[in-house]
Structure 1
Amino acid sequence: MIKLPFAEYREAEIREYEGHPLINALPPINSPQATAKMLARLPNVDDAEKVLPAHIRRHAMMRILDQFLYPTKSHLQLEQMISGMIRRGYLSRNIAAPDYHRNLDDVAHTDFSAIFRNAGNEALVSSVIGCSGTGKTTAVEAILRSYPQAIFHPDYQHCQLVWLKVECPHDGSVKSLCTHFFRAVDDALGTDYQALYVKSRSSAESMLGDVARVSALHSVGVLVIDEIQHLEKSRSGGADKMLNFFVTLTNVIKVPVLFIGTPKALELFQPTMRSARRAAQFGSLDWGRFARTENTGSDEEWERFFKRLWKLQWFEHATPLTHEMMDLFWEYTQGIAHIAVALFYLSQVRAVVAGREAIDRVLVTKVYQEELAMVHPMIAALRSGREETILQYADLDVPREALRVQSALQEAPHIPVVRGIRTDAEDSMRDRLITILVQMGIGEDIAPVVAEQALEEKPADDLFSLVAHIKNLNEKNETTAKQAQPKRDKRTLLDPVYVDDDLRLIRQEDPEKSYQSLKSRGTVIDLLAYI
């Protein structure tokens, strides 16, 4: 049996949440600043690891793939949406209310097979739709982890399941999805629902009814269904049946349902589901790739993301980031975060293994051509900008007709700067300063270190003041070095004193005939006379 954390109730933030144990046991509602700080995941780059052998260092580099997350506006929007869905969904499910157990008993005797055939619209259904590799699932999982998955309320003898994430089976089978649901509940609570409800003779409709009852029994806060586009493969109306069931969950039990999927999922939404998307009080989020246009500042999020990624270098001397390199990565990734991270990681590994300790245009191009060949057609489609070409790869981008004006809720405030992460202005100042230092003759390997030191010592100075500060330090160092040189002793030269047959005098007589002079004086002996 899994030991669940006991509920600790907090003061309600607003009047509607007062007296709701399921809501008051949740963590506080996050501000945008708190959300950005909570979601930011920056791998540690240890200086000691930068000198490790290449075959060991590449293992440390793998942190880039699974420990890097830089929050964007979409992350803040998503966190607000999930936070609202969980809390608003609990408003009509108050375990402290006198009629709670009566309502629970009504759910236990509800004939769901008759209800979900004619499901209506409900505002608690929402979705996150975006092309593959843009980080939808990673973002949702990071936000869900900020909540305890399960909480035990001893005063009410109630096990609350705050969130549950289930992946839609590849075959789109209703029974497989129900099995995944029961398994996820068992993993979270230590129960044995899979053995209880999953039988070979169980029908899909009966299992869906059991899913609804378990969801009500444990007060599921939000049910997340990932890879919803797999329902496309469901046979004999299974997709409609399952989608109607999820709407029924929100109608009858008030369990919010969040779908995650690629643009293929949009084809599955019948008019009922499309109406639910439009009516959703929390909005439905179109999770696109990074955007980049000719407008000034429009690629701000891409630059923020890539500058943070570029800092994760396991080289003894980091390669400075240039606009040309940023443009090259955009050309090869088209703003898809997953591909950008993979290309950066593979390029760095290739550089370390080859002993180059630097990332340049030739290396990145070679890695892209050799190791990411499978995505070339998709990247080319995005690069072309032609809708008919993009639609050939349904998982790539949200179709134009699916794009809509975001609601006021989705217009999140400017992303706050998380402490410990350098701002764009600081990065720009550092890059420009490094360029000037290199032009001044300072080595490319030393310039970044000098620039960092100057920025730390004079954080409020402008570019010219920083250059003057560095030159002043250089002049002081040269003066100090000269002063530190040992002074030569002044010695009085004495006149030489010679002796008879002094070799120095013989040498001075005629340097070209030194041998003959030495031989005539008997200084050089002819050995042939003794043989």
Structure 2
Amino acid sequence: MMIKHQQAQYIPAEISDYEGHPLINALPPMMSLHDAATVLNRMPHIDEAEKKLPSHIRRHAMMRILDQFLYPTRAHFQLEQSLSSMIRRGYLSRNIADISHQHNLDEAAHTDFKSASRNAGNESLVSSVIGSSGTGKSTAVEAILRSYPQVIYHPDYQHTQLVWLKVECPHDGSVRHLCINFFRAVDQALGTDYQQLYVKARSTPESMLGSIAQIVALHSVGLLTIDEIQHLDTSKSGGSQKILNFFVTLTNVIKVPVLFIGTPKALDLFSPTMRSARRAAQFGSVNWGRLERSDQSARDAEWEKFIKRLWKLQWFEHPTPLTEHMIKLLWDYTQGIPHIAVLLFYLAQARAVVAGREILDQRLIEKVFHEELAIIHPMIKALQSGRKEEILKYSDLDIPVEQFRTTSTFMPESEQIIEPPQPTSTETKPSKYQQLINMLEQMGIGPDIAPIVAEQAIAEKPEEDLFGLVAHIRSLREKQPPTPQKPKSKVTKLTPKYLKDDLRLMRQNDSSTTYEQLKKSGVLIDLGCYL
């Protein structure tokens, strides 16, 4: 089977570490948070003419909700940054333009992976994404991976680069079948016949491991992703530990990063020893939990933003407005699990169209939940109860807090990344972090992205003042190819200069919001105390 692969087009190295590395320089440019939001965001198109179609046809158009909707959250951005770093750092010691490349191939061919896997070192570029079923872990990883070409051909080096490979762990937990899935995934990507070559009737997992290692080295696999890792059977003579040790050894010998994706049940695989737990988090483990819900005093959290975006996908001529009551109702029935929320929204809308009553109300949502989603009622009730003993009955629900306390390397990094600096007791005005967020939102950056951008800017330029940070962010956002210079005009265009607490930066489109901003900054004086 002949497959046409993308030919390498090299870009200038973005940092000095990556200079002279064809495998790295053939990758797309590193994405800023703004770029990642643009790439990952998926919003199905609704044609106005479709809203007038007969109900049985309109239902087919509505199915776009199920497979074309993706709202990126902070966890998506953290994961994109992590995978971007893993792929590039993993290629540093695998330079096809260097004579050491042949040495790496020879080492992969002559390494005894059976014995090496018993002594896996600590250099592993290994990470994991652990979260409840239906929270969108696999969808997020696939969306990020597809922002990279899977296969790149380098004609100058006669080399085929496999940037990423995603392998699903079989439901029967068989290590042998996992190895077969690996060969099949490579064949589908490259058009090769490795499965026919290496998988025989008497082939054992041990006999196939060396072949897997050689293929990974030969095709410069940039990231190996193992999905549904919780399916590995821990009861089959230590088979799961053998395969985990093998993948970790791959990172030590060949320097290929490995990403494990699984539900909380996968913690049983990593937790027999602290050493194996550390392996699954050496590049930052991501706790892919349910969406957070805000309290009454805080601004919208990710759950509210997610529902507001989803609610726009109505194939009604007169869409139903979203209310706070509906947001709470959907939370009660889905407990912040995105997949269930999307499914419930689609089923309710489809039933409304078929019934000729195009409105989404509490009665309809409750009816659809009780009649069409009855199979998940026990899990939802367990989450609603908040009782640990009930939640633990379902291994793919929330991760018990105790797991994070006993294996600190699994502590979710996202909490450390997104949490703003705590103000000291002497601070009476908003911190630099909060002021920068406000300025970014006024520049048109969304409120869900602004905190992350502000966090990154302050980390990169800690000594800059607010306007220096804004200039730094603009320089990152506005990277464009140089345009031909035009003759200088005699008229010099003046750019506005803003001062600290500039009133122009406090102005909002909504007058009430502007008033609150001015009042909070101390510009407005409350005359009530003088009367």
Do they fold alike, i.e. is TM over 0.5?
A: yes
CA distance in 2 between counterparts of 1:220 and 1:375 reads: 38
| 1:155-304 superposed matches below 5 A | 155-232=156-233, 235-269=236-270, 270-271=272-273, 272-278=275-281, 280=282, 282-292=283-293, 294=295, 296-297=297-298, 300-304=301-305
- Structure 2 segments unaligned to the other structure (5+ residues): 405-409, 420-436, 449-507, 515-531
Is the 1:165–1:226 Cα contact (8 Å) retained in structure 2?
Answer: yes
Residue 40 and residue 288 in structure 1: after superposition, are their counterparts in 2 closer, same or farther (change >3 A)? Answer: same
Deviation at 1:299, TM superposition (A): 5.2
- TM-score using structure 2 length: 0.77
What secondary structure is seen at the aligned counterpart in 2 of 1:395?
coil
CA distance in 1 between counterparts of 2:226 and 2:362 reads: 41
Deviation at 1:422, TM superposition (A): 8.6
Deviation at 1:199, TM superposition (A): 0.6
Aligned-partner residue type, residue 273 of structure 1: S
CA distance in 2 between counterparts of 1:386 and 1:344 reads: 27
Deviation at 1:410, TM superposition (A): 6.0
Is the 1:149–1:188 Cα contact (8 Å) retained in structure 2?
Answer: yes
| 1:359-374 superposed matches below 5 A | 359-374=360-375
CA distance in 2 between counterparts of 1:25 and 1:357 reads: 50
What secondary structure is seen at the aligned counterpart in 2 of 1:27?
coil
Residue 295 and residue 411 in structure 1: after superposition, are their counterparts in 2 closer, same or farther (change >3 A)? Answer: farther
Match of 1:388 in 2: 389
Deviation at 1:99, TM superposition (A): 1.9
Is the 2:179–2:208 Cα contact (8 Å) retained in structure 1?
Answer: yes
Aligned-partner residue type, residue 385 of structure 2: S
Match of 1:324 in 2: 325
Residue 60 and residue 323 in structure 1: after superposition, are their counterparts in 2 closer, same or farther (change >3 A)? Answer: same
Deviation at 1:406, TM superposition (A): 3.9
Match of 1:76 in 2: 77
What secondary structure is seen at the aligned counterpart in 1 of 2:7?
coil
Match of 2:486 in 1: none
Is the 2:172–2:231 Cα contact (8 Å) retained in structure 1?
Answer: yes
CA distance in 1 between counterparts of 2:88 and 2:42 reads: 26
Is the 2:294–2:300 Cα contact (8 Å) retained in structure 1?
Answer: yes
Match of 1:460 in 2: 509
Per-residue CA deviation, residues 482-525 of structure 1 (Å, 9 max, x unaligned), is: xxxxxxxxxxxxxxxxxxxxxxxxxxxxxxxxxxxxxxxxxxxx
Is the 2:134–2:338 Cα contact (8 Å) retained in structure 1?
Answer: yes
Residue 74 and residue 461 in structure 1: after superposition, are their counterparts in 2 closer, same or farther (change >3 A)? Answer: closer
Deviation at 1:111, TM superposition (A): 1.5
Match of 2:129 in 1: 128
Match of 1:509 in 2: none
Residue 93 and residue 295 in structure 1: after superposition, are their counterparts in 2 closer, same or farther (change >3 A)? Answer: farther
Aligned-partner residue type, residue 44 of structure 2: P
Q: Does 1:314 align with 2:315?
A: yes
CA distance in 2 between counterparts of 1:242 and 1:423 reads: 43
CA distance in 2 between counterparts of 1:100 and 1:285 reads: 32
Is the 2:104–2:217 Cα contact (8 Å) retained in structure 1?
Answer: no
Aligned length: 428
What secondary structure is seen at the aligned counterpart in 2 of 1:159?
strand
Match of 2:39 in 1: 38
Is the 2:167–2:181 Cα contact (8 Å) retained in structure 1?
Answer: yes
Deviation at 1:172, TM superposition (A): 1.4
Deviation at 1:102, TM superposition (A): 2.1
Is the 1:160–1:219 Cα contact (8 Å) retained in structure 2?
Answer: yes
Is the 2:124–2:248 Cα contact (8 Å) retained in structure 1?
Answer: no
Deviation at 1:206, TM superposition (A): 1.3
CA distance in 2 between counterparts of 1:201 and 1:342 reads: 44
Is the 2:105–2:218 Cα contact (8 Å) retained in structure 1?
Answer: yes
Match of 1:470 in 2: none
Per-residue CA deviation, residues 22-45 of structure 1 (Å, 9 max, x unaligned), is: 000000000000000100000001
CA distance in 1 between counterparts of 2:100 and 2:400 reads: 46
Match of 1:110 in 2: 111
What secondary structure is seen at the aligned counterpart in 2 of 1:259?
strand
| 1:463-478 superposed matches below 5 A | none
What secondary structure is seen at the aligned counterpart in 2 of 1:320?
coil
Per-residue CA deviation, residues 350-381 of structure 1 (Å, 9 max, x unaligned), is: 10000001110001000000001111111111
Aligned-partner residue type, residue 300 of structure 1: A
Aligned-partner residue type, residue 277 of structure 1: A
Q: Does 1:411 align with 2:417?
A: yes
Residue 76 and residue 238 in structure 1: after superposition, are their counterparts in 2 closer, same or farther (change >3 A)? Answer: same
- TM-score using structure 1 length: 0.77
Is the 2:234–2:269 Cα contact (8 Å) retained in structure 1?
Answer: no
CA distance in 1 between counterparts of 2:380 and 2:358 reads: 28
Deviation at 1:293, TM superposition (A): 5.3
Residue 198 and residue 138 in structure 1: after superposition, are their counterparts in 2 closer, same or farther (change >3 A)? Answer: same
Per-residue CA deviation, residues 203-228 of structure 1 (Å, 9 max, x unaligned), is: 21110111111000000000000000
Deviation at 1:201, TM superposition (A): 1.4
Of 165-174 and 118-127, deviating more is: 118-127
Is the 1:172–1:234 Cα contact (8 Å) retained in structure 2?
Answer: no
What secondary structure is seen at the aligned counterpart in 1 of 2:6?
coil
What secondary structure is seen at the aligned counterpart in 2 of 1:283?
coil
CA distance in 2 between counterparts of 1:80 and 1:361 reads: 40
Match of 1:506 in 2: none
Deviation at 1:88, TM superposition (A): 0.5
What secondary structure is seen at the aligned counterpart in 2 of 1:232?
coil
What secondary structure is seen at the aligned counterpart in 2 of 1:268?
helix
Is the 1:223–1:258 Cα contact (8 Å) retained in structure 2?
Answer: yes
Per-residue CA deviation, residues 41-91 of structure 1 (Å, 9 max, x unaligned), is: 000011100010000000000000000000000000000010011000001
Match of 2:490 in 1: none
Same amino acid, percent of matched pairs: 66
CA distance in 1 between counterparts of 2:34 and 2:207 reads: 45
Of 266-275 and 14-23, deviating more is: 266-275
Deviation at 1:462, TM superposition (A): 3.8
Aligned-partner residue type, residue 411 of structure 1: I
CA distance in 2 between counterparts of 1:408 and 1:464 reads: 30
What secondary structure is seen at the aligned counterpart in 1 of 2:139?
helix
What secondary structure is seen at the aligned counterpart in 1 of 2:147?
coil
- Structure 1 segments unaligned to the other structure (5+ residues): 425-458, 466-531
CA distance in 2 between counterparts of 1:400 and 1:322 reads: 33
CA distance in 1 between counterparts of 2:253 and 2:401 reads: 34
Is the 2:87–2:257 Cα contact (8 Å) retained in structure 1?
Answer: yes
CA distance in 2 between counterparts of 1:464 and 1:140 reads: 38
CA distance in 2 between counterparts of 1:104 and 1:87 reads: 19
Is the 1:122–1:247 Cα contact (8 Å) retained in structure 2?
Answer: no
CA distance in 1 between counterparts of 2:128 and 2:316 reads: 41
CA distance in 2 between counterparts of 1:115 and 1:224 reads: 21
Deviation at 1:291, TM superposition (A): 1.9
Match of 2:485 in 1: none
Residue 226 and residue 354 in structure 1: after superposition, are their counterparts in 2 closer, same or farther (change >3 A)? Answer: same
Aligned-partner residue type, residue 129 of structure 2: V
Match of 1:430 in 2: none
Is the 2:160–2:219 Cα contact (8 Å) retained in structure 1?
Answer: yes
Match of 1:480 in 2: none
CA distance in 1 between counterparts of 2:414 and 2:93 reads: 25
